[in-house]
Chain A
């Protein structure tokens, strides 16, 4: 048992949770207590010692209050060329006065929606941090896209996070997308200030029959952000869910991304890039659960690691006994740019059905020296040549982003990081 959870401040933190969602919170709290923070050798957190990190950087476990965010800050955070609606959050709290009214979409505080089945998708017993969030989140947001609604413009979830040392930000998001509805979300965070804080986020997404959902995310938080996120999606038959996750910084980041394919002919895609430098540590744990026949999932994560950064990839695909005719593909490729960068990758497939098409694999390597020399021999300087090669490596993921402004933004961030424009 971690010493952190035994501290009075931590106990007070749990005890001081808001009074809404009483039974949801009780379940969360019980689940949290029974699991405890991950021990050093806990299999799921083997390469990401989040408990130690929290103990060293979070001195005072208390909820971070919303910070004042100005319209100018929102404007300057907006992606160039972005045309869509914006929902603004400050330390997890919704800021209605800076947010758009989205035509055809219901947006309200979770506290006004107490019948929402929180924890039914991102179950607290699957991850202790989901349990912690469920026990103690302040308030959250409820977003409902009604049946057959086609939301043409993307919805940007723009979060400003920052706190005094040791504070905790716990966003809680519930998204439900009705049958035949289509919607694209962009999830972007901005760190305010230089102080350490713990971001513990839970997003639950419920996709109806034949719904189409894109969830694009950029993690470009400050170097002092310790983050755990649990994003979990259920989709029904004929539905399609695509997530693209770009991780560019952060002190220690753990993403638990899970997808449950609950209806036949559903399709789930999970793509990601982690482009890390300094001492950033990013861990992507993904989980795809094929429970029914004739569903498809595709997964591709690519990592580029410089300096002393560390990447972890763990991809699990479950193909249940009933899930015949499943197509499931998973791939993780990594390029290490320095001697000190580390990657731990573990693709996993568990198959109980006997008529499926599945593949998985991973690679860890260096930049292709032969290709680098070829480009240099044509007059291209080494930095640009490296940039071209790395960009090409990442490109396979970037092209999965259908929303143009977001793709261009991602391309720009990556080119900046690679130190060259081409």
Chain B
């Protein structure tokens, strides 16, 4: 589904990603872990098409298409979804109007009829139940005045509405208490299928108790330096990242 080859990216001339290789197949969950500043969020942002990041080398093929060639909105319409680490508050834009505009543009791209108000609302109701989000939140401006947990839950709600093929969760667990973590994870798990894939970018092993990964990758200095199964995450939790850093740093010297 997703094939990343030798991906290099920089911000304002500073290289952040220095050759990422990653293959993700339908039905899989990949966790990307790593110490602060290793490039985890950059990878998520580059995949979603954030403009500040300049791709200097490599390629990303998503379902046969060159993802890096597409505008952010077209990536979303193709089925890539980024759950933001810091969802943006947008005063004056109603959550409902925003979602309906987004959903109908995505549907149009996929050759589907736009949803009318009635069908849209019933879909919203169904998905709200799935991620246990309160209707009151959605009658407000987008994310405005939401708590950290509410914002993250809203991300998963949007994901449920847009039904992406590839979901990238960028530190969705950070700042969540255990209840919110459980609700968010349940939402993600319910949305998983053998046709979709998930990339979970996280700092902590805790989230992976709920969203169980098939593969765990450790990102350090812009490269995937170690890959393994969920046991690798447990090992990292216990031992920290230093042993990996030492391994890598001594190998490069």
Contacts and interface: CB of A to CB of B under 8 A. Distances in A.
Interface of A: 368-371, 373-382, 384-385, 388-389, 391-393, 395-396, 422
29 contacts: A368-B88, A368-B90, A369-B51, A370-B88, A371-B88, A371-B90, A373-B49, A373-B72, A375-B98, A376-B73, A377-B49, A377-B73, A377-B81, A378-B98, A379-B102, A379-B109, A380-B105, A381-B73, A382-B73, A384-B101, A385-B73, A388-B93, A388-B97, A388-B98, A389-B90, A391-B92, A392-B91, A396-B92, A422-B101
B84 interface: yes
Given A371-B88, A377-B49, 20 more contacts: A368-B88, A373-B49, A375-B102, A376-B49, A376-B71, A377-B82, A378-B76, A378-B99, A378-B158, A379-B73, A379-B77, A379-B103, A380-B98, A381-B73, A382-B73, A384-B101, A389-B93, A392-B90, A393-B92, A396-B92
Contacts of B82: 377
Nearest to A392: B92
Contacts of B102: 375, 378-380
A378 B88 CA distance: 12
Interface string B101-133: 111011001000000000000000000000000
Nearest to B143: A374
Contact of A388 (B50, B101, B106): B101
B162 interface: yes
A302 to B, nearest CB: 11
B97 A422 contact: yes
Contacts of B73: 376-382, 385
Contacts of A392: 90-93, 141
Interface string B68-82: 000111011100011
A380 B48 CA distance: 13
A34 B88 CA distance: 56
A382 B162 CA distance: 18
Contacts of A384: 101, 105
Contacts of B77: 379
A411 B101 CA distance: 17
Contacts of B105: 379-381, 384
A395 B90 CA distance: 13
A382 B97 CA distance: 16
A370 B84 CA distance: 11
B87 interface: yes
B43 to A, nearest CB: 15
A377 B101 contact: no
Nearest to A369: B51
Interface in B186-210: none
Contacts of A391: 92
Contacts of B162: 378-379
Contacts of A388: 93, 97-98, 101
A388 B99 CA distance: 12
Contacts of A381: 71, 73, 105
Which has the most chain B C-beta neighbours within 10 Å: A389, A393, A422? A422
Interface in B132-178: 141, 158, 162
A374 B88 contact: yes
A90 B158 CA distance: 53
A335 to B, nearest CB: 12
Interface in B1-51: 48-51
From A369, A376, A389, name the one whose CB has the most chain B CB atoms within 10 angstroms: A376
Contact of B48 (A368, A377, A389, A395): A377
A164 B71 CA distance: 49
> Which of A377, A381, A422 has the most CB atoms of chain B within a 10 A radius of its CB?
A377
Contacts of A375: 90, 98, 102
Contacts of B99: 378
Tell which of A375, A382, A395 has the most Cβ of chain B within 10 Å.
A375
A385 B99 CA distance: 12
A373 B96 CA distance: 18
Contacts of A373: 49-51, 72
A233 B106 CA distance: 51
B129 to A, nearest CB: 21
A183 to B, nearest CB: 30
B98 A377 contact: no
A374 B84 contact: yes
B21 to A, nearest CB: 24
The 10 lowest CB-CB distance pairs between A and B, nearest first, are A392-B92, A379-B76, A376-B72, A379-B106, A378-B102, A374-B88, A376-B73, A392-B93, A395-B92, A379-B102
A245 B73 CA distance: 35
A368 B92 CA distance: 13
Contacts of B101: 380, 384, 388, 422
Contacts of A370: 88
A379 B71 CA distance: 10
B59 to A, nearest CB: 21
Contacts of A378: 73, 76, 98-99, 102, 158, 162
Nearest to B159: A378
Contacts of A396: 92
A175 to B, nearest CB: 33
Nearest to B77: A379
A389 B94 CA distance: 11
Contacts of B81: 377
A23 B72 CA distance: 68
Nearest to A395: B92
Nearest to B91: A392
Contacts of B91: 392
